[in-house]
Amino acid sequence: MLDLVNIFKTFEKGTPNENKVLRGLSLHLEKGELVTVIGSNGAGKTTLFNIIAGAVTSDEGRIVLDNEDLTYEREYRRARVIGRLFQNPHTGTAPGLTIEENLALVYSKATNRFPLTPALGARDRRLFTGLLARLGMGLEERLKVKAGTLSGGQRQALTLLLATLVPPKLLLLDEHTAALDPVAAKKILGLTEEISAGHRITTLMITHNIGSALEMGTRTIMMHKGTVVMDLKDDERKNMTVEDLLRRYKHTVHENLDADRMLLEE
């Protein structure tokens, strides 16, 4: 489904600040897999997502999604098949637009209904109300409320809905619950699993929470210095505790996992 082949990226090449961030990274994902990604600060996780999404160009390597070579495809074209969520809940929604306007804009763009208008028919409104109700946050009662007035958790739930309204082939989640309180984070992680599995969306999720990395989805990869150093699945993953993983990491890369944010979380 997704094939990343031998990806290299060096920032500020040829300067004293040269930084080899990705060093021949390869990864294959099956359709519908939810794979969690962990790794120390600066391991290259966000850069990898930027390269997959087309925001950053790799120096070498290929990106193939659903048999389509995206390596030289522009970012806006990839955005049609790749959804992305970030840590900051404010990045995914238009704060000045209401919940239903946010939904209508994404929906009309995706269904090629022109002109792009936030005007809603009764059928659209029913559809949106149903989708919002499934989030279990009462947002279906608040269609006319501006997205900017929602809490971080509500906003991230709306962002998740917007990003998957038309299910993308690939969903990239970059610490999308890190800015939320633990209760909201748990709720969003639950919704993430539900939506990803419900639509069988191939999903990569970066997290600093090793506990949820091991619990969510079916596979966990560990990045270190620009390559994948661990790929855990099946029984090996099922039986692994957070302590086992940290021990294994140390054994593999001869360093402690740079866990500034990690161990403090549940």
State the pairing for strand pair 170-174/68-69: unpaired
What's the rounded Cα separation, in Å, for the pair 114 and 112?
A: 6
Angle (deg, nearest 10), helices 152-164 and 99-110: 20
Task: Identify what 164 binds: ligand ATP, Mg ion, none; CB under 5 to 8 Å per kind.
Answer: none
Q: Is 36 in the site for Mg ion (CB under 5 A)?
A: no
Paired with 62 in beta bridges are 5
What's the rounded Cα separation, in Å, for the pair 56 and 51?
A: 5
Q: Which amino acid is at 214?
A: L
Which residues lie closer than 8 Å to 91 by C-beta, 6 or more apart? 159
Q: Is 47 in the site for Mg ion (CB under 5 A)?
A: no
Q: Would you give the binding string for ligand ATP spanning residues 40-79, x where CB under 6 A is met?
A: -xxxxxxx--------------------------------
Total residues interacting with ligand ATP, rule: CB under 6 A? 11
What's the rounded Cα separation, in Å, for the pair 8 and 24?
A: 5
Closest distance to ligand ATP from the beta carbon of 220 (Å): 15
- Residue 120's CB is within 10 A of a number of other CB atoms, namely 18
Q: Is 207 in the site for Mg ion (CB under 5 A)?
A: no
Is 47 or 202 the residue whose CB approaches Mg ion more closely?
A: 47
Task: Identify what 218 binds: ligand ATP, Mg ion, none; CB under 5 to 8 Å per kind.
Answer: none
Is 80 or 261 the residue whose CB approaches ligand ATP more closely?
A: 261
Task: Identify what 239 binds: Mg ion, ligand ATP, none; CB under 5 to 8 Å per kind.
Answer: none
Kindly list the residues in this chain that would bind ligand ATP in the complex (CB under 6 A): 11, 19, 21, 39, 41-47
